[in-house]
Chain A
Amino acid sequence: MFENWLLGVAHLGDWQVILAMVFGVALGIVVGAMPGLSGPTGLALMIPFTYGLSPIASVILLISIYVGAEYGGSITAITVNTPGTPSGAITAIDGYPLTQQGQTGRALSMSILSSTSGGIFSAIALILFSVPLAQFAIAFGPVQYFALGVFGLTIVASLVSGNWLKGIIAVLIGLLIQTVGTDPMTGAFRYTFGQPALWEGVSFISAMLGLFAISEVFRILEVGVRSRLEASHNFSSERMPFREFISYWKCLLRSGVLGTFIGVIPGAGAAVGSIVAYNEAKRFSRHPEKFGKGTLEGVCASETANNATVGGALVPLLTLGVPGSGSTAVLLGALLLHNIQPGPLMFEDQPDIVFGIFTALLLANVVMLVLGVYGVRFWLLVVRISPAILAPLIFSVAFIGAYSTGGNIADVAVMLVIGLLGYLLRKFGFPLVPVVIGLVLADMVEISLRRALIISDSGFWIFLTDPISATLIGLAAASLAYSIIQDVRGRRRTTA
């Protein structure tokens, strides 16, 4: 193993490789921060540029983009409440309230430090345990995915404490939006109103941009430009001292472990990682009441976990040859173009590439830390931009984002309709994040439930007889019961 490692490290002496890494991380951060440009799109756009590079430099460039993109999503989430990535929506729950309280600098510092920690944690896990983790990845079939989805949905309970009805309605809206399109099992059309543009359902990017970006623009228009301008004067660029960051070690470790494991499960992805880690952080926190109102713990959990899914998602790709996320799927295509075949044979046939990837993953996180820490002062400027400039900027970026994902103008129309919906929801005090959680999980829950029932000989009992599924469902029930009890107790205390 040691000599393979040396072979891998030897690649990194090449200036091309180092340049690819720095450029890749920087580009990844921009791609992640831009709503509409996600990791997979950024990777796909860069593939043609790798033709002239050596295989190892190409792989490192692409992995660096992937690493940067998972962090970049938090920047726009914290500063302007327009998450650039699905998992950024979870970061925004606490990140944007922190900005409203003038703590943007601290939130951004927390985001970059915890992203790096999560990334490095999962890289180490990948290096040490990739083979046993691969067994964990394939243990997830339809039955287990359904249980995981249900577990993810229980986060809503802890998000909407005190406002049950509105929270549940918001989740159901998210689930409902995802039923539009082609039925995944029978191929029948559902709620497509005869519009071919809706056959493939509502594009996730359009929904996110509508809910967050467009509704924010409507809100700025309503509140008026002046008020925001005044508010943004009294914010602090104070960054977080490293010693304070270390005091979050429990949250970092827990979210790192959760993110890595969820990343390993093919198809679960960064958003599910963030959702579960956020939920657990709140449950273990000494101040669960602060979640959603602007606590650094929330940012820590979400950002550690989504970067930890990167190392996790590489496990099934490298060991089984099966991509675990959208980004790794594009990565697989790129690797094949360079005659690198990931999979069980890769460790024997191309050990230098494997260990090159391992080393690069660690170093890319360090590069991201440097770029991120120095970047904080620039991103702070975003908050100072007058809403008179910001609103049209968000508006046009959202239009470009919605159109560019598929070159389909109907996606822009869908975004506007959902933007109006998002504005109305905000206006009547419905939380938006449960809608996103419904959107993210609907597909997984529906498809795995229906597939599991085809496979099952005992109907719904299969979810309780399978050990992994039973554990997850048990945890979901416990998590739900716990937040109900907390809520009732909290209410008693306030009324007493």
Chain B
Amino acid sequence: MKRTSKLVGALAGVTAIAALAVGSAQADQPFELVIKAGPGSGVSQLAHKAAELLPKYLDSDVGVLYKKGGSGAVAQAYIQNRDANGYHPFVDTTTTAIVLAGGKTPFTEEDWVGVVRMQVDPQGIAVLSDSPWQNFGDLVDHIRKNPGTIRWTGAHSVGMDPFTVSKLLESANLTQDDIKYVPSRKATEMKTNLLGGHVDVATLNPGEARDQVEAGKFRMLGIAHTERIATFPDWQTFKEQGFDVEAAIWRGVLVKKGTPQEMIDKLHEAFLKLRADPEFAEFMKQQLALDGYLGGPEKFDAYFKDQVKTLRVHFAPKPGQG
């Protein structure tokens, strides 16, 4: 009896291994979505959702690979050291455009080809709801009357947040010296510091500020988008308040330069089907992310390269700044 059960067990095991082997032989080479951020970040959530739903559109396995380090330089090097066959798509964000514009990596935007932009997250600014400022104009008036007193926080001192802050100040004919810019590292830091009154203004995306706005703690003074967003129709854009500023974080897919066009098209096609998937739509709603689709791969590629060039000009040391 005992021997039979062992035999059955062994047989089952062998069958399982054989089934696995056959299964993997039939499948195509697996895709590896490379990300540079840690678990829990917005881009890792996007990559995991994509890895979960993409296999049926790509006809092969899809995994997620974390390559942290060097603000994405490690992930960039990992992909650039592999064949340009499209099996290691870089699921990435605006940060890479900033890093490339900074010119500190061995790579430039020409080493990459944009495939598809999946999400945009417009920049916005929030204040405490009991503050006297009802819109961005009120804040600008206050800054003009009391230069150098407003404590304004944003993520890091180089990147999308300080870029947005300087564009907003510029649009109101103010300069960096008119405020105290306090670099934070994460949205959560900005939120606690704003809640506790340690800063006056925080640079937050709608998704980051949503909960506190709904609970009546924060007020959104404006969002840097072309039009109002559907989920929060009463949030004014800066544009309609007379300040011509648009700035958004994007999340999308890049591949190594030299990847065959049919592979780029195949990936683009699959992500387009992903975008139409009801389960993915539900995920987008939860993340409060806006659809970022721009058109075919060439549209996103041009947008990406253009952004890097704009940021490069912005970051370049200005004459007289050492």
Residues of A within 8 A of B (CB): 40-41, 44-45, 47-48, 137-143, 182, 184-187, 189, 196-200, 266-267, 316, 320-323, 329-330, 332-333, 336-337, 339, 341-345, 405-408, 410-411, 447, 451, 454-455
Is B39 in contact with A343, judged by CB distance below 8 angstroms? no
When distances are taken between beta carbons in the complex, the residues of chain A under 8 Å from B151 are 454-455
Q: Does B74 interact with chain A (Cβ within 8 Å)?
A: yes
Min C-beta distance of B283 to chain A, whole Å: 8
| B13 at the binding interface (Cβ < 8 Å) | no
Kindly state the separation between the CA atoms of A103 and B107 in the bound complex, as whole angstroms. 56
Verify A187–B156 contact, CB threshold 8 A: yes
| Majority secondary structure, B binding face | mixed
Known contacts: A341-B211, A345-B211, A454-B182. The answer to whether A200 contacts B70 by CB under 8 A is yes
Q: Contacts A140-B196, A322-B192; is A345 near B214 (CB within 8 Å)?
A: yes
Please count the residue pairs between chain A and chain B whose beta carbons lie under 8 angstroms apart in the complex: 132
Are B157 and A196 in contact, CB atoms less than 8 angstroms apart? Answer: no
Q: Which residues of chain A have C-beta atoms less than 8 A from B183's C-beta?
A: 184-185, 451
Task: Kindly identify which residue among A47, A141, A197 contacts B39, using a CB–CB cutoff of 8 Å.
Answer: A47
B217 (CB) vs chain A CBs: closest residue: A344
Residues of A within 8 A of B214 (CB): 345
State A329–B41 Cα separation when bound (angstroms). 9
- Cβ contact within 8 Å between A408 and B188: no
Q: Which of these, B40, B65, B68, contacts A333 with CB under 8 Å?
A: B40
Whether A329 contacts B199 in the complex (CB less than 8 A), given A454-B180, A455-B182, comes out as no
Interchain nearest-CB distance for A217 vs B (Å): 25
B48 and chain A: residue at smallest CB distance:
A48
Given that A196-B74, A200-B70, A339-B286 are contacting pairs, would A455 and B199 also be in contact in the complex, using a CB cutoff of 8 Å?
A: yes
5 contacts between A and B (CB under 8 A): A141-B199, A200-B70, A322-B188, A454-B181, A454-B182
B144-199, CB < 8 A from A: 151, 156-159, 180-185, 188-189, 191-193, 195-199
Contact of A320 with B70 in the complex, beta carbons under 8 Å:
no
With A44-B40, A141-B193, A185-B157 already in contact, 8 other A-B pairs whose C-beta atoms are closer than 8 Å: A140-B192, A184-B185, A266-B192, A321-B211, A329-B40, A343-B212, A343-B215, A344-B217
Which of chain A's residues have a CB closer than 8 A to the CB of B39? 40-41, 44-45, 47, 330, 333
Could you say which residues of chain B place their CB within 8 Å of the CB of A199? 69-71, 73
B17 interface residue (CB < 8 Å to A): no
A185-B157, A186-B157 known; A320 and B195 CB under 8 Å? yes
Instruction: Give a binary string over B232-250; 1 marks a CB under 8 Å from any A CB, 0 the rest.
Output: 0000000000000000000
Residues of A within 8 A of B199 (CB): 141, 455
B residues in contact with A138, CB < 8 Å: 192, 195-197
Q: Report the Cα distance A306→B67, complex, angstroms.
A: 30
B77 at the A/B interface (Cβ < 8 Å)? yes
- Taking a contact as CB atoms closer than 8 A, the residue among B38, B185, B192, B211 that contacts A343 in the complex is B211
Contact status A344-B211, CB under 8 Å: yes
Q: Would you call B195 and A330 a contact (CB within 8 A)?
A: no
Given A186-B157, A343-B212, answer yes or no on A320-B192 (Cβ-Cβ < 8 Å): yes
The verdict on B259 contacting chain A, using a C-beta distance below 8 Å, is: no
Minimum CB–CB distance from A328 to chain B (whole Å) comes to: 10
- Taking a contact as CB atoms under 8 Å apart, the answer to whether A187 and B158 are in contact is yes
| B156 surroundings in chain A (CB, below 8 A) | 187
Most buried by B among A140, A143, A321, A330: A321
The reply to whether B69 and A200 form a contact with Cβ atoms under 8 Å apart is yes
The minimal Cβ–Cβ distance linking B101 to chain A, given in whole angstroms, is 12
- Which chain B residue lies CB-closest to A317? B188
Name the A residues within 8 Å of B104 (CB-CB). 189
Interface pair A197/B158, CB less than 8 Å apart:
no
Which residue of A182, A186, A189, A196 has the most chain B CB atoms within 10 A of its CB atom?
A196
Q: How far is the CA of A45 from the CA of B189 in the complex (A)?
A: 25
Decide if B66 is an interface residue (CB 8 Å cutoff): yes
A455 to B182, CA, bound (A): 7
Query: How near does chain B come to A138, taking the closest CB pair, in angstroms?
Result: 3
The residue in chain B whose Cβ has the minimal distance to the Cβ of A51 is B52
Q: Say if the beta carbon of B45 comes within 8 Å of chain A.
A: yes
CB-defined contacts of B95 to chain A, threshold 8 Å? none
Per the 8 Å Cβ criterion, residues 61-98 of B in contact with A are 65-71, 73-74, 77
From B215, which residue of chain A is reached at the shortest CB distance? A344
Please give the distance in Å from B112's CB to the nearest CB on chain A.
16
Residue B105, interface by CB 8 Å: yes
Q: Kindly provide the distance from the CB of A415 to the nearest chain B CB, expressed in whole angstroms.
A: 14
Determine if B69 and A408 form an interchain contact, defined as CB atoms under 8 angstroms apart.
Answer: yes
Residue of A nearest to B287 (CB): A336
Smallest CB gap from B158: residue in A: A187
Contact A336 B286 (CB under 8 A): yes
User: Within 8 Å CB of A408, what residues of B?
Assistant: 67-69, 74
In the complex, the answer to whether B69 meets A410 with C-beta atoms within 8 Å is: yes
Instruction: Provide the B96-117 mask, 1 if CB < 8 A to any CB of A, else 0.
Output: 0000000011000000000000
Bound: A417/B282 CA distance, A: 47
Residues from chain B with a CB closer than 8 A to the CB of A48 are: 48
B180 close to A196 (CB less than 8 A): no
One digit per residue, 1 when the CB lies within 8 angstroms of any chain A CB and 0 when it does not, for chain B 201-227 equals 000000000011011010000000000
Q: Which 8 A-B pairs have the closest CB atoms?
A: A141-B198, A44-B39, A406-B68, A138-B196, A196-B70, A344-B215, A196-B73, A187-B158
